[in-house]
Structure 1
């Protein structure tokens, strides 16, 4: 047997995960299969690469040597792919997104910062679909959200960077709603309302809404699941439903956006890209374009402008290094 890239990736995943079980889940294989593969790799390299300790699987001296070489080879292969795509001017960069407010300005910002680079943008209603297509090579980069403590698992070979560390979700309701005049809405006062079901159901949002409402003493009545923004707003303006909303959401006739007391539901916005198709320079340009797109909407609602200005530690940081290889 000769060592292949997949063998080097397996060794790196075992080292990063610290256990065969976690590494197998990240690689999408069974633990017995990965264990057998490791034994074959060790026969080629001439000795044990890992030993089991109280802390988990730790590399031996030989393992440390193989790991260093494996990481160097994989890094070079990633660079080969991304740099080749960067040189090929007629190859578009494929960006996938969920429905975030910043999407409205993202194309304009990428056109400014990445002039000469053709970019295609597709909208998905599933974070799972986004990450799956990133792993399959359908997208080169994705922009997505995570709610409360939920962490979206990313495919092998992905890098990720947090764009917005935290934003408190708000409530959109009819301007004629009895609570519309309040500065902040107590979640418990919405117990009898019909709610819009969140379009994305795999970013932690539905669980966060149910948990927050349960703490407030009720279960939300989920009546509508509508992706069309105009229809969504029209139903709310008519008093038929209320909905969770990003605090940067634009004004819509007949509706108001109000913060929730105590900020029980918060979100993060992240950018992820595949190392083999997006260079470090392209990733930096994408990040800065997305940051500008977000900042362009911060003042859409006065309460969020005030909250945002009071939390400079949460603002996008340009020029920083990415978080490193994503764990699946």
Structure 2
């Protein structure tokens, strides 16, 4: 077996994640498959690349050597791809997103403000993957979220702009839940529930939920991680789970969306783009399209409309 770029990327993702499980999620493979791949890579390299430490897996001296070379090779490949992309003529703008509520209306708004421009859009489950693919030239623009104080590291050459500086996460529960008729609920009242974890696991969300629940006096039971939106809503409607949700999310049959007292968890929505592939004018138009898509969802929940209108300092900067 010869080492390929995908093997080098796997080694880097394991080192960055500090765990085979988290690395497998970001690479889109199963943990057993990644473990088997790592063993094959180690046979080629001539020894163990990682050992288990207190905080997860840590690179061995051989692992540090392989990592330094892998990062250099992947960095040069990223530059090659980004340079080729910048030299391309009339290429479609490639947009990568996590599953934000605004994504549903984003394309419609882009078609409106950038008529004639071709777009290619993909959804990812990992904010880290979005950032890396932006740096590699696989995306020209990314739309992503950050939870509480978490900041997503962006690649060199990327510019960014905050779309929504702050929004309070709400909780979605079954319409048959004893708390469903309340206007607001305390996080502590959900101590005995099974939680649907957020799809993205590297935007600060899981850590923010655990920290907020700890302040409320309990440890959440993180039982489900469902990427299919319908299945996600069906489990909640059946009373089998509750979940955090953006406040602008639409209604779903058999569920209700309620604000949490004190806004214990908040999110932020941002855009980032490769300045070598996206002009300042294009970036501004994309920002305006994203803002229009977000604002179109405010009336999904009247309480969020009232919250939003009382905080003009958080609104998108549309000049």
- Cross-structure match for 2:148: 148
Q: Return the alpha-carbon distance in structure 2 between the equivalents of residues 157 and 235 of structure 1.
A: 42
- Cross-structure match for 2:295: 295
Alpha-carbon distance, 1:81 to partner: 7.7
- Cross-structure match for 2:217: 217
Q: What is the number of equivalent residue pairs in this alignment?
A: 241
Q: Return the alpha-carbon distance in structure 1 between the equivalents of residues 185 and 195 of structure 2.
A: 15
Q: Does 1:199 align with 2:199?
A: yes
Listed as ranges, the gaps of 5+ residues in structure 1 are 1-28, 34-77, 320-328
Q: Return the alpha-carbon distance in structure 1 between the equivalents of residues 85 and 169 of structure 2.
A: 39
- Cross-structure match for 1:310: 310
Q: Could you report, residue by residue, the CA deviation over 1:145-196 in whole angstroms, capped at 9, with x for unpaired residues?
A: 0000000000000000000000000000000100011111100110000000
Q: Return the alpha-carbon distance in structure 1 between the equivalents of residues 156 and 201 of structure 2.
A: 23
Q: Does 1:179 align with 2:179?
A: yes
Q: Return the alpha-carbon distance in structure 2 between the equivalents of residues 254 and 199 of structure 1.
A: 21
Q: Could you report, residue by residue, the CA deviation over 1:228-253 in whole angstroms, capped at 9, with x for unpaired residues?
A: 00000000000000000000000000
Q: Return the alpha-carbon distance in structure 1 between the equivalents of residues 282 and 222 of structure 2.
A: 41
- Cross-structure match for 1:129: 129
TM-score (norm 1): 0.71
Q: Return the alpha-carbon distance in structure 2 between the equivalents of residues 134 and 256 of structure 1.
A: 36
| SS of equivalent to 1:96 | strand
| SS of equivalent to 2:288 | helix
- Alignment root-mean-square deviation, CA: 1.9
State how 1:220-299 maps to structure 2 within 5 Å: 220-299=220-299
Alpha-carbon distance, 1:199 to partner: 0.8
Q: Could you report, residue by residue, the CA deviation over 1:268-293 in whole angstroms, capped at 9, with x for unpaired residues?
A: 00000001111101100100000000
The 8 Å contact of residues 167 and 266 in structure 2, kept in 1 or not, is answered as yes
Q: Could you report, residue by residue, the CA deviation over 1:4-51 in whole angstroms, capped at 9, with x for unpaired residues?
A: xxxxxxxxxxxxxxxxxxxxxxxxx99xx9xxxxxxxxxxxxxxxxxx
The 8 Å contact of residues 85 and 137 in structure 2, kept in 1 or not, is answered as no
| SS of equivalent to 1:142 | strand
User: After the TM superposition, which parts of structure 1 deviate over 2 Å for at least 4 consecutive aligned residues?
Assistant: none
Listed as ranges, the gaps of 5+ residues in structure 2 are 1-63, 69-81
Q: Return the alpha-carbon distance in structure 2 between the equivalents of residues 206 and 81 of structure 1.
A: 35
